[in-house]
Amino acid sequence: MNIETQNTVNGWKLYTLSNQHHMSVSLLNYGGIITTINVPDRHNNIENVVLGFKNHADYAQNPNFLGALIGRVAGRIQGASFTIENQVFDVEANEGTHHLHGGASGFHQVIWAASPFQTKDTVGVVLTHTSADGEGGYPGTVEMTVTYTLTNNNELIIDYAATSDKTTALTLTNHSYFNLTGNVARTIHNHHVTIACDEFVELDNELIPTGNKLDVTNTPFDFRTGRLIADGINSTFTQNIVAGHGYDHYFILNPKQTEAIRVEDEVSGRVITIKTDQPGVVMYTSNNLTEGLELAEGTSKRYDGVCFETQASPASLHHEDFPTVLLEAHVPYDKQTVFSFSVVK
């Protein structure tokens, strides 16, 4: 196990965590951004499996949220407004009339305080940040701790912890774009995905939840026994078209299944399994990824990566019976997502 620290642009620091099985994870204290995850394929070729900029300076303007920590609220808040205890809070409208991923002052643009650590079987970085009452329009002073841990079992564990002195809206995630082909050799069309999910959330033409939950049965959203991402990209199903020919939807996870998500690339043999105590996940297949960005492995294009944004649902701010994003005052927020990397021979 090893950790290396180096200074990069704008006074940011880059931390590279590595284990004894040739896996490494690099992240910035700026935005908690994961820049690379290097893992072996079935032939032991070590390659990067997330999208990242060639030049770190480009993360200062990161409209696609590559690799970033997202908060205070991951996802879209309808009308950039919500009500808590009969008080209306207005947040930044940074996507049309709606609020996306915490706005311009979101956690993806914060320089976090960082403390690396190492044990016998793990290595990691603890990130801390205080978000002031009223920051971005949100109530409450929130004390944040996010811990990235790499284990010797090729697990990347992300622990999210927070407390607020006022009831507020909070749901955090990481916005890494995965591509298991390695060094973006191919698009994600042939990634085979399994999700333990019976219902997903319907979106309108502005990608805002309608308040309806739809049964996945007999739709391209049925990943219970696995299917290719290409099924949705090529589908004429209305919800795939609404998302820009792909997926950008909240899947409500089956709480009875501990392994929520499995992703496999048949050619490389690489596999990710995702476990989480979050109630759902947004799967985003980069349908609207900005094209022409200078990435570490070439120029960006649509369908270069797939995000698995484990989180609660911002739809809960406007609709009943959705996994809530409300965090009560002085009640600890404590969530974990584990990404396990392996290969099939």
Q: How many residues does the chain have?
A: 345
Residues whose CB falls within 8 Å of the CB of residue 297, separated by 6 or more in sequence, listed in order: 48, 183, 184
Q: Could you give the 3-state DSSP secondary structure of residue 18? A: strand
Question: Are 49 and 37 contacting, i.e. CB atoms less than 8 angstroms apart?
Answer: yes
The active-site residue, picked from 135, 155, 297, 309, is 309
Rounded Cα gap, residues 292 and 125, in angstroms? 32
The active-site residue, picked from 98, 101, 108, 175, is 175
Distances (CA, A) of 257 to 198, 215, 279, 313: 12, 18, 11, 19
The letter for the amino acid at 275 is K
Is 199 labeled as catalytic in the residue annotation? no
Rounded Cα gap, residues 150 and 34, in angstroms? 12
Rounded Cα gap, residues 180 and 67, in angstroms? 15
Burial classification of residue 43, based on how many CB atoms lie within 10 Å of its CB (0-12 exposed, 13-18 middle, 19 or more buried): exposed
Q: Could you give the 3-state DSSP secondary structure of residue 79? A: helix
Question: Are 33 and 59 contacting, i.e. CB atoms less than 8 angstroms apart?
Answer: yes
Q: Could you give the 3-state DSSP secondary structure of residue 149? A: strand
Pairing of strands 248-253, 280-284: antiparallel
- Helix, strand and coil percent figures for the chain, each rounded to 5: 10, 45, 45
Is 309 labeled as catalytic in the residue annotation? yes
| DSSP structure class, residue 58 | G
Residues noted as catalytic: 175, 309
